[in-house]
Amino acid sequence: MPGLSLQIMPMGRETHAGLAGPFILLETPDHEHLGYMETQRGSILVSDPDEVSILARKYAMLRTQALNTEDSKGLLERLLGEA
């Protein structure tokens, strides 16, 4: 799919930037940046630029901590071959 990339977090990694839970970064047609988080107590839409910036930095850290796209693809191919 164009514009889609997949990176896998190595199973052996004990810590990473996403341990506090999942989040989604959004950009509106007007180029407003937002964050969305789901927690056990409900969902939160974040619009404060400082808070969205924190999520964007976490996303950048996750990308550096995960396998790159080529290694992720190779891992998936190996796992599918073992199925």
**Which residues span the domain enclosing 36?**
28-68
- CA separation, residue 34 to residues 22, 41, 57, 61, 66 (Å): 14, 20, 13, 18, 23
Q: Is the model's pTM score more than 0.75?
A: yes
46 domain-assigned: yes
Overall domain count for the chain = 1
For 9-74, give the DSSP string. Answer: --TT----TTTT--EEEEE-TT--EEEEEEETTEEEEE--HHHHHHHHHHHHHHHHHSPPHHHHHH
In a domain, 4, yes or no: no
Mean pLDDT, rounded, for 2-25:
90
83 is a domain residue: no
Q: Which residues, in sequence order, are CB contacts of 40 under 8 Å at separation 6+?
A: none
Segment 45-68, tens digit of pLDDT: 999 999 999 999 999 999 999 999
48 in a structural domain: yes
